[in-house]
Structure 1
Amino acid sequence: MIINSSELTGVLRQYNPWWSGNRFPDLPAWKRAAFHEIAHWVENPPAGRALLLSGARQVGKTTLFLQAIDELLAKGIPPGNILYATFDHPLLKLAGLDGLLRLWDEAEPSKQGTEYLFLDEIQSIKEWQVWLKHQVDFEKRRRIAVTGSATPLAMEGQESGVGRWHTIKLATLSFYEYLKLRNDPVPKLPAISSLADLFDMTPAWFSKTGSEARILTGFFHEYLLRGGFPQTATVSSIPLAQKLLREDIVDKILKRDMTALFGVRRIIELEQTFLYLCLHDGGMLDMQELSKNLEVKRPTAMSFISILEATHLIYRLQPFGYGKEILRGKHKIYLADPAIAPGVLLKGISLLDNPTLLGQAAETAFFKHVFSRYYARSIAFSYWRGGKKGLEVDIIADIGGRYVPFEVKYRSTAVETADLKGLTEFCRTRAVNKSCVITRNMEDFGIIPLTGDNNIQALKIPAPLVCYWLGESETTSAVGS
């Protein structure tokens, strides 16, 4: 081994204080919804699979692992049976996976029963997929959980992991989680099991609930500025939060991870591409225009887009339809968090004074919430455009062939039926009788007809309220179910 063994053991003991009878200090008592998924896997891993916790940097993956370890210790699991390591540490990266296991055996040799391995940023290790597959296949007494801030397995060697690990995609904090983390004063709101339940509510219920939820709007606007990254969510100064967010994304992800993991050398062009996407958040991706404006070749630009998606910085929505409709259509791009664009572009609080940018941020926030809440159910998302008529629906959720359309109208004036021609056309042509409109004001909350016979209805629901309910995992189970 290149490195002194005792030095590496010292690093491991620093990361595993429970071996010496101590707990990891300053862990948050409050736990995210994803914690319960991890805890369930720890108790009963499906088909003996490993766990891959996938998400962008600084979204809280390490904290979730340490909370899971703390719960194992509280349940009486022997401390020596639990290993935590991060391959962000240069010495552990040099030691490699097998070297790490040898050091663990030397430091804690008398392990009996199930062993628990929690490995951070495993994408830094070459051929980690093959190693993990081997461990799952032949080391049955080990339960292995890993995190990744990037997903190169989507680009190479993905087949080696089929059936070997269960993936949990961790997004940035939901609005509900953001409020919990900050301990902001939130009124007690009625619980709902499904957005579909709201179609049965009375006008009086909508008025009362909207009035009670009015305080959420100010918090929601702060959420759009600070973002759902735990580190920046709790920073009191919004300009400082945005500065930290820009440094994390530009310096750590674009300039470091892209070079180390994907071999990107043209960092300036990559950063320019990302800035272009920040300026067009929630808009159509015109590859020809992007390539022309940034003076990069189309294949290079397409490669940059794929890499940004692999590092969990963007989502891509394909057009609704089949065959040529998809192949010829443009993708729609959403950033992974509504605060990324104002943070990277150093907008400060000026976002709140620009109705267009504020509406884009609200749409990005809503899409992140609805996608994050339902991706595990294999719900496909797309957008719809009505050909020559120029009509559009922002988001279509495909639930096994049943469509739930969403239109975002985040504006100060009330939304009327005449403002929803695209939504009405889609519902008529696809035999959909219920849809959702995301509004701004708490007074703009209720049911409106989209057709004169009232056979097609739209639920108008304010963005702060729907994002709150979608993030409150204990009370919201499924779109339209």
Structure 2
Amino acid sequence: MIASSSDLITVLRQYNPWWRGASTADLSTWRRRAFHDILSWMQSPPAPRALLLSGARQVGKTTLFLQVIQALIEDGVPANKILYAAFDHPLLKLLGLDGLLRLWREFEPETDGIEYLFLDEIQTIRDWQTWLKLQVDFEKKRRIAVTGSATPLVTEGQESGVGRWHTLRLSTLSFYEYLHLKKIPVPSLPDLRSLAELFDWAPVQFARVAADVSPMVAHFHEYLLRGGFPQSTLIESITAAQKLLREDIVDKVLKRDMTALFGVRHVLELEQVFLYLCLHGGGLLDMQALCRDLELKKPTVNNFINLLESTHLIYKLPPFGYGKEILRARYKVYLADPAIAPSVLLKGTTLLEDPTALGIAVETAFFKHVFARYYASSVGFSYWRGKRDRKVDIVAEVQDLVIPFEVKYRAQDTGIGDVKGLAEFCKTRKASRGYIITKDIQDFSILYLPFDVATKYGTVPARIAKVPAPLACYWLGKTELDSLNGS
């Protein structure tokens, strides 16, 4: 070993200041919704599994771990029963998982009681899956939470790790979380457990809420520019926030993680593919055009896109349907956060002056909110294309329900003639409800389609809820995770 035990213990003590009675410096008192999920799992796990917190770099995983550790200590857990380590530190990476535990025991001898292990960026350690499996199977007194910035945490070693960990995927900040982190006053709004509750509202309720939330529009636009990464959210200058996002998050993932985790050698070509997706985000992926424009082979591009998805920089949506209906269809691609494209493309605040780019940013933000809220509920997400180029941007499927969403972020009010895609989908797929995400705060109401839909509960009128984007994202970010059955 290139470092002595005393050197390694010094590093470990810096990561675990509570061992010497100190607190973690500059730890935010504001807590995300995921904090409660992690704390609950560590205090009383519903199953004998480890907890795997997966998400992009700089999305806030480490802060959540430190906040949970602080809460455990405040709840009476002895400080010496809690171990935190980050394996992006070169010495701890060389030490490995078993070496880390031996070092801990040198400093803190084993005693009776539950032990709590918090391990950051575990994907950098070889054979982490086997180690975690053995810990879960044979060390019943240990509760283990790990983080990683790449999907290999979930996909690799599945055979040996089945049933050994529960995955909690962390997206960038929701609009609701963004407002609270920046301490922006929010008008008193009705609490909705589901957007479906809007179908029971009276017209006066829509008018009253619309009048109250006008100030939120400017903050929503700034959210689209800054993005949902906690560090960039708190920087005063939007230009500096976008620079941080571009350099500290995107560049590190593309130039460091892709090489270290996946052995990517052609980083320049990878960057070109990512830039192409930034220019065409929210649209159907034309693989032939991409390969032609960048002069790359299709297997290479497919591999790069899968890697970008693995590191949580993009989402891929398949077409809605089954069997031959989707075999040759194209994927739709969203970036992981609406601010990524304007940051990479150096758009700055000019994004707000470009209706097309702004619409894509809003659609990206809305999809991220829907995905973050419902991904844990076994929901499938897709898009739909019908006849005469009619479309639905997002379709959520759960059990026997399909819920369509269309984003129309434009100045004019949305009428029956603007929802032909949604109407065709609802009629052919027997969906009694759908949603239009609008721009104007006043474009907020229920739209009745000119037909009824037969459901298992009887024949009901087909209706569309028109919801302004700031409100839709606010409510989706605020409400607790639940089933889409009510949506």
On whether the aligned pair clears a TM of 0.5, the verdict is yes
Report how many aligned residue pairs link the two structures: 480
Which residue matches 2:211? 211
CA deviations on 1:94-117 (whole Å, 9 max, x unpaired) are 101011001100011143210000
Kindly indicate whether residue 469 of structure 2 is the aligned counterpart of residue 470 of structure 1: no
Q: Distance in 1 between matches of 2:430 and 2:381?
A: 18
**Residue equivalent to 1:423:** 422
| Alignment correspondent of 1:313 | 313
- Which residue of structure 2 lines up, in the alignment, with residue 137 of structure 1? 137
How big is the shift at 1:475? Answer: 9.3
2:325 is aligned to: 325
Q: CA deviation at 1:480?
A: 3.0
Change (3 A) 1:479 1:182: farther
Deviation at 1:348, TM superposition (A): 0.4
What stretches of structure 1 of length at least 5 have no aligned partner?
Answer: none
Matched, 1:351 2:351: yes
Structure 1 distance, partners of 2:485, 2:314, is: 23
Name the TM-score, length of structure 2 as normaliser. 0.96
Code of the aligned partner of 1:461: V
Match of 1:41?
Answer: 41
Q: Structure 2: any 5+ residue segments left out of the alignment?
A: 453-459
Give the AA of the match of 1:220: F
- Asked whether the 8 Å contact 1:192–1:475 carries over to 2, the reply is no
Aligned twin of 2:197: 197
Equivalent pair of 2:392/2:421 in contact (CA under 8 Å): yes
Q: Does the alignment pair 1:271 with 2:266?
A: no
Greater mean alpha carbon deviation, residues 75-84 or residues 446-455: 446-455
Is 2:106 aligned against 1:106?
yes
**1:310-341 per-position Cα deviation (integer Å, ceiling 9, x unaligned):** 00010000000001222211000000000000
In the alignment, the residues of structure 1 paired with residue 278 and residue 301 of structure 2 have an alpha-carbon distance, to the nearest angstrom, of 15
Contact 1:195 1:479 in 2 (8 A): no
Which residue number corresponds to residue 18 of structure 1?
A: 18
Q: What residue in structure 2 maps to residue 180 of structure 1?
A: 180
**Map of 1:82 onto structure 2:** 82
Corresponding residue for residue 406 of structure 1: 405
* Residue number in structure 2 paired with 1:220: 220
* Greater mean deviation of Cα atoms: 54-63 or 44-53: 44-53
Contact 1:470 1:476 in 2 (8 A): no
- Structure 1 range deviating more: 444-453 or 355-364: 444-453
Output the TM-score relative to the length of structure 1.
0.98
TM alignment of 1:389-400, pairs within 5 A: 389-400=388-399
Cα distance, 1:442 vs structure 2: 0.8
1:26-64 Cα shifts (integer Å, max 9, x gaps): 211111000111011011113210000000000000000
Q: Give the stretch that moved more between structures: 279-288 or 447-456.
A: 447-456
Q: Which residue of 1 aligns with 2:29?
A: 29
Deviation at 1:161, TM superposition (A): 1.4
> How far apart in 1 are the matches of 2:20 and 2:466?
56
Q: Partners in 2 of 1:296 and 1:156 — Cα distance?
A: 27
**Percent identity between the aligned chains?**
64
DSSP-derived class of the 1:41 partner: helix
Q: Does 1:164 align with 2:170?
A: no
Could you tell me how far apart the structure 2 residues matched to 1:477 and 1:74 are?
33
Aligned equivalents of 2:119 and 2:481: distance in 1? 32
Q: Which amino acid aligns with 1:116?
A: Y
Contact 1:81/1:112, CA 8 A, preserved across alignment: no
Shift of 1:10: 0.1
- The 3-state SS of whatever aligns with 2:443 is coil
Question: Do structure 1's residue 438 and structure 2's residue 437 form an aligned pair?
Answer: yes
Whole-Å Cα distance in 2 between the matches of residues 368 and 334 of structure 1?
9
**Counterpart residue number, 1:480:** 486
Report the Cα distance in structure 1 between the residues aligned to 2:325 and 2:304, rounded to whole angstroms. Answer: 24
Change (3 A) 1:255 1:479: farther
Deviations 1:128-186 (A, max 9, x none): 11110011001110001000001224553222211000000000000000000000121
Q: Which of 456, 459, 481 lines up with 2:465 in the alignment?
A: 459
1:399 counterpart letter in structure 2: V
Give the secondary structure class of the aligned counterpart of 2:283: coil
Contact 2:320 2:384 in 1 (8 A): yes
SS across alignment from 1:334: strand
1:208-249 CA distance string (max 9 Å, x none)? 001111111110000000000000011111111000000023
CA distance in 1, matches of 2:449, 2:479: 30
- Identify if the C-alpha distance between structure 1 residues 452 and 116 changes in structure 2 by more than 3 Å, giving closer, same or farther: closer
CA deviation map 1:327-373 (0-9, x unaligned): 21100000000000001111100000001100000000000000100
Match of 1:371 in 2: 371
